[in-house]
Structure 1
Amino acid sequence: MAASSQSGKVGLGIIGFGIMGERLLRAALDAPEPAVQLIGVWDPAPEAAARLASVAPGLPMLPSADAVIEGCDCLYVATPPAAHLSLADAALASRRALLLEKPLSHDVEAARRFVARAEAEGARAGVNFPMASSPAVAQLRAWMEGGAVGQPEALEIKVAFATWPRSWQRDAAPWLSRRAEGGFTREVVSHFLFLTRRLLGPLALKGAQASFPPGDGSETAIEARLTAGGVPVTLHGGVGTTERDDTNGWTLRGTAGAIRLRDWSIAERQGEAGWATAPDALPNERMRPLVLRGQLEKVAAMTRGEPHGLATLREALEVQEVVEAILAAG
């Protein structure tokens, strides 16, 4: 593990330099006191090498996935889902720590086997659900612990998109727009299911519907009923139901009041005069770098074998099982 021995910092390697790989890399480069040292990237796409040279001129595009694994202390797998588990297995076989992009896989049974194996080995592994480091989510938790909700009675999750994929995801459309690996339920709804699991408890799907276009396109609408720690949850999602790229809401009501998260990063509490926004709330574009720095700090802690708070493999598997069951209802 040469990177950490040379610098004292955890050496992070990235496989897959699409949107998510670039975002985490930029967060590491822009941090005033970086939690990790970037050691290199591998992505077979020629355009990825050009983007890396522009974003981080001194960081190498390594010749192979094996070269990234060999040179890092922790591997971030940010490829399309079909490649996740083979790369994860290679990292764990080399005794590297692992940060996986969600979902674990497009194959639930393979994901179950992987999680069981990783847990049995005591692997240092987490999944990149950034809400684990969100100040807005921390505010929701603080309100809940302070009695703002009382006994939770009902949760509503809504997501809507003008088109799918969203405008800024067009480069990933070849897989994001298809039923096999893509769709907004895997890509977006999964974040809110993770949030629900973290704040309310285990998820259980009670019923679902999903609509698909002809051919192999991803879903255009979903509806589902769940419970989370026994609390009833309703979920609605659709494409072409808003003029905005992306709008979403997570609203929890209880015996003492209501709280919500809207548009990814705005925490609000219902009062006599309506919804009041948390005083330190930031729009997602400004919040995202802070959240990703928090994720990187957790990655460094995980790699050192310390408590961290990243989404666990088990949490990610539970989310994936619900997501795939919703999609199977189509």
Structure 2
Amino acid sequence: MSPFVFPSAPVAPLRGGPVLRWGVVGTGEIAGDFIDAVHAHTDQRIVAVASRSAERGAAFASAHGVEHVVESAEQLAARDDVDILYVATPHTAHREGALAAIAGGKAALVEKPLATSEAEARGIADAARAARVFVMEAMWTRFLPHFVQLDALLREGALGDPALASVEVAWRADLSAGGRLVDPALGGGALLDMGVYSLWFAQFAIGHPASVQAVGSTLANGVDLESVAALRSVSGALATASTSIRATAPGLATVSGTGGSVRFLDHFVFPASFSLTTTAGGAGSETLDWSDTSGIAGRGGLAYEAAAVAAHVASGLTEAPEHTLDDSVSLAATSDAVRRSLTVVDDSALR
């Protein structure tokens, strides 16, 4: 058997490509991490931030090297020096920020989830397409080098026909402390916060689900705590996707096909390595490890997403081929289906 060679899988160059001027909506942790990653690793520039609190906005802008502060997404979208909005507000405000960008004729990168329901996600997609404006859900993991490589493996057929995938994304939260994760008005719960990664990986591995079954639990206020979803694609491939805010999981994932399998060795959400076992080259099997050698770790990887989006916008695309609006709508529909299957538990048992 000839030794297996990983296919060429170039990522979008972090420097030297098209440069956009970004406006950031929101002043939370992910907004700060995005700005820091973009400024540290790319030529992209954040020129303004929107915050409803002038004081908080000024402090945030000063901390992250941003010159201008405005009050709203609408004001960002009206600025001549802003090409694209990055919407990093709480989940329930994503739709508002996305529609403000679209109405202003500006591209938008909208944090996960694109919206809190399939209906809202479809509304954003319809508005973006009608206006012919670029909009993408910020599925940053898809643009990391290890997923660019995995995508190339799947397209080349190194795993054969995908048949089975499994994934878990879970971080334990202090449910007694209150806050965003247990607040339904802010889109609280495991699914919209971290489960979006597990459902996305399942969809990436086997295709859009044709059927969804799930078990799990919610608080009386509707905030989901944990779930395990079983998905089946049109081709018959199966996936299990687990998430929880009651426990922490290592964030590993696998995808297996008729010709081989991939097993992640690190938390797949962040820059990671994986092990490939393949029989694609002939009789017998071969196992090789693939590692990200970029030196970029953790949320520093947000830079890849920004560089790729800038290239797409500069090329005149209105959707990202790596993660289309149809992908986002499908993801939202799966999340809705999972939530409908969950069982209410006694809140007092969790305190």
TM-score scaled by length of structure 1: 0.82
**1:37 aligned residue:** 45
- The one-letter amino acid of 2:299's match is R
1:90-101 equivalence runs, <5 A: 90-101=100-111
1:38-187 equivalence runs, <5 A: 38-45=46-53, 46-56=55-65, 58-71=66-79, 72-163=82-173, 174-180=179-185, 181-187=187-193
Whether 1:209 aligns to 2:215 is yes
* Deviations, residues 166-219 of structure 1 (Å, cap 9, x unaligned): xxxx9xx62222345122211222123333333432223331122023x43632
SS in 2 for 1:226: strand
| Matches of 2:60 and 2:115, distance apart in 1 | 26
Displacement after TM superposition at 1:150 (Å): 2.3
| Matches of 2:181 and 2:246, distance apart in 1 | 16
**2:195 aligned residue:** 189
Please say if residues 26 and 51 of structure 2, whose CA atoms lie closer than 8 Å, have aligned partners that are also in contact.
yes
- The one-letter amino acid of 1:43's match is S
Unaligned regions of 5+ residues in structure 1, if any?
1-7
Please say if residues 229 and 241 of structure 2, whose CA atoms lie closer than 8 Å, have aligned partners that are also in contact.
yes
Percent of aligned pairs sharing the same letter: 23
| Matches of 2:174 and 2:257, distance apart in 1 | 33
**2:280 aligned residue:** none
Displacement after TM superposition at 1:15 (Å): 0.7
SS in 2 for 1:79: coil
1:269-308 equivalence runs, <5 A: 269-271=275-277, 277-280=289-292, 286-289=297-300, 291-307=301-317, 308=320
User: Number of residues paired by the alignment?
Assistant: 308
Displacement after TM superposition at 1:293 (Å): 1.8
TM-score scaled by length of structure 2: 0.77
1:251-266 equivalence runs, <5 A: 251-261=254-264, 262-264=266-268, 265-266=271-272
Shift in CA distance, 147/314, structure 1 to aligned 2, threshold 3 Å? closer
Superposition CA RMSD, Å? 2.9
**1:315 aligned residue:** 327
